[in-house]
Amino acid sequence: MKSSLILAEKLLSSGIPNLISVLQEIEGPSIHLDGREVRAIGARAAEILLRFKQNTESAGGTFKIDASAELAQDLQVLAMKEALLEKGAEI
């Protein structure tokens, strides 16, 4: 059972099918995504991550993303930082 994933450096629209595929392979009540190497994320990829987080939490699980400064900044621009990152995540 795989419950963690290292996110790609760029999470853009062209990579959505791959992102969905790797997220579908993750199982377990505690999900951890390592986004410390992410340099750019698009709106569609952020939406996919948000839906995945919501599904995980609605099933009683936990979800955490470790974010790079660039990822946190892009999520702030997309108005998704608070929804996806734990409080206190700095830009």
Cβ count near 26 (within 10 Å) = 16
Spatial strand order in the sheet of 62-67: 4-6, 30-35, 62-67
Instruction: Give the number of domains in the chain.
Output: 1
Say yes or no to pLDDT of 88 above 70.
no
Whether residue 91 lies inside any domain: the answer is no
Model confidence, pTM: 0.90
Domain that residue 74 falls in: 4-84
Residue 10 carries which DSSP code? E
Whether residue 13 lies inside any domain: the answer is yes
Alpha-helical runs (H) found in the chain: 16-24, 43-58, 69-77, 81-84
pLDDT digits over 62-83, tens only? Answer: 999 999 999 999 999 999 999 9
Residue with the two structure tokens 């959505």? 16
| pLDDT the model gives residue 10 | 96
